[in-house]
Amino acid sequence: MASESDDDVRNPLRVAVIGAGFGGIAAAVRLQQAGISTFTVFERSDDLGGVWNENTYPGVEVDNFAHWYSYSFRTYDWSRTHPGQQELKQYLNDTVDKFGVREHFRFGYGVTRIEWDEDAQSYWVHLSDGSTEQFEFVISAVGLFNRPRIPEWPGLDRFQGIKFHSARWEHQHDLSGKRIAVVGTGSTGVQIVNALAPVVGHLTVFQREPGWLFSKGEHVFTKEERRRLSRGLGYRWQRFKYFYREQTKGWGGKNLQPGTSQNAKAQAACERYIAKVFKDRPDLAKAVTPDYPYGGKRQVLATGFYESLLLDHVTLVPHAVERVTETGIVDAEGVTHEVDVLVMATGFEAADYLNSLEVIGRSGTSLREVWNGEPEAFLGISVPDFPNFAILYGPNTNQGNVIFGLETSVNYVVRNLKRMKRTGATSIDVRRSYFAIYNRWLQRRLAKSALATAKNYHKSESGRLVLPFPTNMGWYWVFCRLLRRWAAVDRRVEPTVVAIEKPAEGGVARSSPANRHLGSGGPDVIARFAEDNE
Ligand SMILES: Cc1cc2nc3c(=O)[nH]c(=O)nc-3n(C[C@H](O)[C@H](O)[C@H](O)COP(=O)(O)OP(=O)(O)OC[C@H]3O[C@@H](n4cnc5c(N)ncnc54)[C@H](O)[C@@H]3O)c2cc1C
């Protein structure tokens, strides 16, 4: 909560964090550890967890190994190699309590708009209940995968059966014995198919385009493994092992560049897996083999999906959905499939960054206008003319284990905040030159990536790759450590005195745009600290 000391009210460094998923929680812990306790985490839903709060579909679990898909500052006694939604949410709840930051969270508060006030050197943060609060710094942790993509199939609204998106699972329905359609065979679709196949009457799986698929070797840890791996050196070693594996052989390396031996090797391993499972079903083998290079879409990691397709009551339809009737689905070949339940595992509007709020910067322009459908940022974090605003999991930071990227960005932001406290800088912006050069480099590298060769959710409408980082995230860490100080433009502006109400019990200091011009003058001192004296 905001400190109530006079000093803080006169000269505060209040931080608003938007979103309480892995990113927002990492920010809360690191801010607290850095001695910045004047922060509030606004979360529009009524609980924490982000995607691990919203995605409760059968079979939901993470694709990375638990010891790697977790915070560097929090070990845990994981029950599985790849934990499910409930365990991940429990981990986040335990983390919030262990680090004593729960009181900073305000649930049920969506941030609708933030607006930079140059005079006050702070943002006006507009909330979904109509109130407005003032913060010197805003960290967006709104994530990518929380606006479900609802397809525009003709007839969808006339469908008489049960229908829902995978991220809005309707648990009240008993699916046993029913005819179910799962549309989509990405990471989510395959998990749902595996979980439903044993219980439903008939399963029809619609696949517009196959993905390259690996078995991920998931299993429940034995008692002995849990004893060995839940803390200390055992935990650290496990974490390092998967970090190393990812940087060298996994996501984001040369294996995602067509024409390299690593790429060919990865593709050959997937082809061997297909050949092994479908040795007696060449029709299915053909249907699940992509016609684009390995890495053209996010790799699908699942054990048992191919085997599920071999079951008598499971039908793979290797075509897109054309339209929906009152009782079924018509595929692109014109064949109708009668179903009782339609599950849309159709993904998210991921490339539409920061779609849940409006961000207004120094020039009075909104970030959406500046981006014009092509989101870009320096290291995914900062955009020129939007001072004191940081994005976690921002443009072009999606690669490998996302938690590592989130923590790296959080550390970058918290270091900047510490510098502001130390030097008295009232704003930090990013140099336009660094922003431009970095994004040119990104796009040049990404042009060589397999993702450029296929249709996928990593692209903006114009086809520009706006989600992925072009190489492994170890390099992202290096860039964040090396470039932060050089890329920053610090300013010290004597903020206009604004009327700030004393904070209510348990709340932050309140003010409103209506009284923001009380007091005198605009900026009266502008100092640039190009040289950081950290
Ligand atoms: C089903 C699924 C499986 C995944 N599996 C993996 C995996 O295996 N490996 C991996 O690395 N990544 C995976 N991801 C990606 C995942 O998004 C990240 O790993 C990570 O959880 C992102 O955390 P976040 O805090 O950035 O965002 P989120 O978890 O999306 O949290 C954002 C939060 O912000 C809130 N919010 C949004 N807008 C506002 C607003 N305007 N005001 C207030 N609150 C707001 C949302 O309600 C949400 O709680 C998966 C994603 C999904 C959906």
Do 220 and 320 fall within a single domain? yes
Which of 81, 142, 346 most suits a substitution to test ligand 1, by most atoms within 8 Å of the C-beta? 142
Do 128 and 182 fall within a single domain? no
Mean of the pLDDT values across residues 54-66? 97
Confidence band (pLDDT; 50, 70, 90) for 251? Answer: low
Q: If you take atom 37 of ligand 1, which residue's CA is the nearest one?
A: 142
**d(CA 413, ligand 1 centre) in Å:** 19
Do 215 and 93 fall within a single domain? no
What percentage of the chain exceeds 70 in pLDDT? 90
User: What average pLDDT does the chain have?
Assistant: 90
Which of 51, 54, 169, 188 most suits a substitution to test ligand 1, by most atoms within 8 Å of the C-beta? 51
Do 268 and 358 fall within a single domain? no
Task: Write the CA distances from 240 to 67, 72, 221, integer angstroms.
Answer: 9, 10, 18
Do 392 and 430 fall within a single domain? yes
What pLDDT score does 533 carry?
33
What pLDDT score does 259 carry?
87
Spatial separation of the C-alpha atoms in residues 122 and 134, rounded to whole Å: 7
Rg, the chain, Cα only: 24
3-state class (DSSP) for residue 343: strand
Q: What residues flank ligand 1, with Cβ below 6 Å?
A: 18-24, 42-45, 50-51, 55, 60, 62-64, 69, 110-111, 141-146, 188, 356-357, 392-393, 401-402, 406
Do 355 and 340 fall within a single domain? no
Which of 402, 458, 476 most suits a substitution to test ligand 1, by most atoms within 8 Å of the C-beta? 402
Atom of ligand 1 nearest to the CA of 63: 8
What pLDDT score does 250 carry?
63
Do 328 and 403 fall within a single domain? no
Spatial separation of the C-alpha atoms in residues 195 and 60, rounded to whole Å: 9
**d(CA 317, ligand 1 centre) in Å:** 30
Q: Tens of pLDDT along 170-200? A: 999 999 999 999 999 999 999 999 999 999 9
The enclosing domain of 117 has a CATH number of 3.50.50.60
Q: Is the pLDDT of residue 420 over 80?
A: yes
Atom of ligand 1 nearest to the CA of 82: 8
What pLDDT score does 395 carry?
98
Do 161 and 276 fall within a single domain? yes
Tokens (6 digits) for 425: 């800088």
Q: If you take atom 23 of ligand 1, which residue's CA is the nearest one?
A: 22
Confidence band (pLDDT; 50, 70, 90) for 243? Answer: very high
Q: Is the pLDDT of residue 509 over 60?
A: no
- 328-331/202-206 β-pairing: unpaired
What pLDDT score does 495 carry?
77
Confidence band (pLDDT; 50, 70, 90) for 10? Answer: very low
Mean of the pLDDT values across residues 121-150? 97
Of the three residues 299, 329, 344, the one that is the final residue of a domain is 344
Q: Is the pLDDT of residue 134 over 50?
A: yes
Residue 344 and residue 165 in contact, taking contact as beta carbons nearer than 8 Å: yes
Atom of ligand 1 nearest to the CA of 398: 11
369 Cβ neighbours under 8 A, 6+ residues apart = none
What pLDDT score does 7 carry?
40
Domain hosting 311: range is 156-344
Do 57 and 142 fall within a single domain? yes
**d(CA 97, ligand 1 centre) in Å:** 20
Atom of ligand 1 nearest to the CA of 21: 25
Spatial separation of the C-alpha atoms in residues 139 and 142, rounded to whole Å: 9
**d(CA 189, ligand 1 centre) in Å:** 18
**d(CA 21, ligand 1 centre) in Å:** 6
**d(CA 187, ligand 1 centre) in Å:** 15
What pLDDT score does 513 carry?
40
State the residue for tokens 């209506």: 514
Q: How many other CB atoms are found less than 10 A from the CB of residue 103?
A: 11
Confidence band (pLDDT; 50, 70, 90) for 524? Answer: very low
What pLDDT score does 456 carry?
92
Comparing 8-22, 92-106, 175-189, 367-381, the range with the smallest average pLDDT is: 8-22
Atom of ligand 1 nearest to the CA of 402: 11
Q: Is the pLDDT of residue 266 over 70?
A: yes
Q: Is the pLDDT of residue 367 over 50?
A: yes
**d(CA 141, ligand 1 centre) in Å:** 8
Of the three residues 296, 328, 344, the one that is the final residue of a domain is 344
Do 463 and 362 fall within a single domain? yes
Residue 254 and residue 262 in contact, taking contact as beta carbons nearer than 8 Å: yes
Q: Which helix (H) or strand (E) holds 282?
A: helix 282-287
Q: If you take atom 5 of ligand 1, which residue's CA is the nearest one?
A: 62
**d(CA 444, ligand 1 centre) in Å:** 28
**d(CA 139, ligand 1 centre) in Å:** 15
Atom of ligand 1 nearest to the CA of 166: 1
Do 368 and 338 fall within a single domain? no
Spatial separation of the C-alpha atoms in residues 428 and 174, rounded to whole Å: 54
pTM (whole model) above 0.85: yes
Q: Is the pLDDT of residue 226 over 80?
A: yes
**d(CA 437, ligand 1 centre) in Å:** 29
Cα dihedral: 374, 438, 390, 483 (round 10): 180
Type of residue numbered 34: A
Of the three residues 344, 367, 400, the one that is the final residue of a domain is 344
What pLDDT score does 208 carry?
96
What percentage of the chain exceeds 90 in pLDDT? 82
- 137-140/527-528 β-pairing: unpaired
Confidence band (pLDDT; 50, 70, 90) for 247? Answer: confident
Do 495 and 385 fall within a single domain? yes
Mean of the pLDDT values across residues 509-531? 33
> Into how many domains does the chain fold?
2
Mean of the pLDDT values across residues 278-284? 97
**d(CA 309, ligand 1 centre) in Å:** 30
Q: Tens of pLDDT along 437-493? A: 999 999 999 998 999 988 899 999 999 999 999 988 999 999 999 999 999 988 888
Spatial separation of the C-alpha atoms in residues 201 and 223, rounded to whole Å: 36
**d(CA 25, ligand 1 centre) in Å:** 11
